Structure 1
Amino acid sequence: MQRISHQLLRSAFRALLSGDRCYHTASVFDPMSARIAADLGFEVGILGGSVAALQVLAAPDFALITLSEFVEQATRIGRVARLPVIADADHGYGNALNVMRTVVELERAGVAALTLEDTLLPAQFGRKSTDLIGVAEGVGKIRAAVQARVDGELAIIARTHAGVLSVAEVLERTQAYQQAGADAICLVGVRDFAHLEQIAQHLSVPLMLVTYSNPELHGDQRLAELGVRIVVDGHGAYFAAIKATYDCLRQQRQITTATDLSASELSHKYTHPEDYFVWAREFMDVKE
């Protein structure tokens, strides 16, 4: 099968952003899933940071995966991808200079776009996982990302959490990121269409929504009219793979007494998050 160049895939993603339709991402986490998604007609895929942490480390989504580990997985996918893939680059793995390195490495891996969020990562002990960095620092990261890319077709998507901010604060951040050169804005935590409209009417770049299948945001035509071009419903494909693996191996061992666990329960069971909470209390709860 003939490969498709990374530049063509980036151009295809740019065409999605500049169009007038709304597209739903396929969760792709390895070469096989990327091939399946393309064969089934998905227009775009996404490699989630949380999924990569599970796939590579069997670890919870605590910003434990390193840039090199994430890039290795993105490279494996980019080697065979026949659809544009968005890389969830979290916070860029550090400050603005780290962001530049992140862009260089992910561009080489072949992704079509990457999201950079303004979440304060790794989370500080005793603080919320939704704490955000300052607007100025977020702007610096977007400007650094734009500066670092070589292929101008690589899309830089700035992400913020609309669920923990007032509309005015969301607009302050997103308009600043738009001005800094972001090719699109990714929003998490949008409650419903009324909330989305309050934000969308003040932005000129395309929008990407992480909805986790929020029923209050169903309706592709209305989403498209508000400028939404990409929707991330979640990563059900990977969690289904976890569940299928567990059920298959349990059947192979003829184990009938074990509790039938859901995919989310299996993810919790086998990532051992309690260990990380214990270590955080021991090593991070330091009183000066």
Structure 2
Amino acid sequence: MKSTTRFRQLIERPEVLPALGGYDALSATVAEQAGGEVVYMSGSSVSTSVHGGPDVGLTTMTEMVERARSMVEAVDVPVFCDADTGYGNPLNVARTVESYERAGVAGVHIEDQTFPKRCGHFEGTDVVPVEEMEQKLRAATDARTDDDFVVIARTDARATAGLDAAIERGYAYADAGADVLFVEALRSEAELRRVAETVGGEVPLLANMTEGGKTPLYAAEEFEAFGYDVVLYPATGFKAAAKALQDVYREILTTGTQEGVMDRLLSWSERNELTGLDAVTEREQRYATDDSDAA
């Protein structure tokens, strides 16, 4: 089954779909091995891992697509991705969709922020006119060659114009062809429920769970009860990895040894199992030659 078709089926099932956020091939592999049915490529996590700074629109489309391709090649489950603003006008959006689709991605979300964009939970975001975003969505759906490729419309209007404006944009984006709606940075259960009770009747809904952001933390089952279909956990893994690096590096520099953190590291065998060393060794042996027979 195509990954795009599988992704659509997972969105359409009655149970909410948790989407663990990754940022490279290894994090995607860990997410899949943990039981993730999909992997989400977090733009925020990729951005920070590429240039070491905040998510303020510094990462390019080609950097994002190349990272997506490596994640797709590492796992068997569908991978869907942050595509920021589409990296320009509707023609840029079309090229973005074409590039992600060729990389094997199952879907993308495109947002209505102005450029340069920034994390939707930062202060200082702004949005483009609704008509501009509608044209981007039409360009996105026209550009895909696989009708099952999922185009997710994200609106950041809640932060700039309020909940009513965000809902109005949701209706407009559904009419423009979006397969799923993502209303970013909702502030409460009441707001989440209102989106579900209104525009949720038009298209499936995606919610974002980012720790420390503007949306309170809710469990996946709660989102299902609210009426949502997909829940992102975009940067949880990245922040866990970064915290572990901080702690381990400080321990080594303070004590001169890693002995004090050995219980927090993968063992030698666990690392080899995670990276599939046995399978690689088997392939090496299949193509090995006996030097004694040479000549």
Q: TM-score, structure 1 length as denominator?
A: 0.79
**Among candidates 48, 59, 71, match of residue 53 of structure 2:** 59
**Among candidates 56, 68, 77, match of residue 74 of structure 1:** 68
Asked if 1:190 is matched to 2:186, the reply is: yes
Verify the 8 A CA contact 2:24 2:46 in the aligned structure 1.
Answer: no
| Stretch of structure 1 that moved more, 225-234 or 210-219 | 210-219
Counterpart for residue 170 of structure 1: 166
1:215, distance to aligned residue in structure 2 (A):
7.6
Q: How does 1:120-139 map to 2 (within 5 A)?
A: 120-122=114-116, 129-139=124-134
Q: Distance in 2 between matches of 1:217 and 1:61?
A: 21
Q: How does 1:151-166 map to 2 (within 5 A)?
A: 151-161=146-156, 162-166=158-162
Q: How does 1:13-162 map to 2 (within 5 A)?
A: 13-122=7-116, 129-161=124-156, 162=158
Other structure's SS at 1:25 match: strand
Identity between Structure 1 and Structure 2 (%) = 34
Q: Which amino acid aligns with 2:189?
A: F
Q: Which amino acid aligns with 1:48?
A: S
Q: Which amino acid aligns with 2:194?
A: Q
User: Over aligned residue pairs, what C-alpha RMSD do you find?
Assistant: 2.2
Deviations 1:87-113 (A, max 9, x none): 111101111111011101111111111
Q: Distance in 2 between matches of 1:144 and 1:173?
A: 17
Verify the 8 A CA contact 1:35 1:82 in the aligned structure 2.
Answer: no
Q: Distance in 1 between matches of 2:70 and 2:234?
A: 21
Aligned length, in residue pairs: 248
Q: How does 1:209-288 map to 2 (within 5 A)?
A: 209-213=207-211, 216=216, 218-254=218-254
Verify the 8 A CA contact 2:220 2:231 in the aligned structure 1.
Answer: no
Other structure's SS at 1:164 match: helix
Other structure's SS at 2:40 match: strand
Query: Cα–Cα, structure 1 residues 22 and 105, in superposed 2: closer, same or farther, change >3 Å?
Result: same
Unaligned runs of 5+ in 1: 1-6, 257-288
Q: Distance in 1 between matches of 2:244 and 2:203?
A: 39
Query: Cα–Cα, structure 1 residues 56 and 228, in superposed 2: closer, same or farther, change >3 Å?
Result: same
Other structure's SS at 1:228 match: coil
Unaligned runs of 5+ in 2: 257-295
Deviations 1:167-215 (A, max 9, x none): 3211221111001110000111112222122222222210001132578
Q: TM-score, structure 2 length as denominator?
A: 0.78
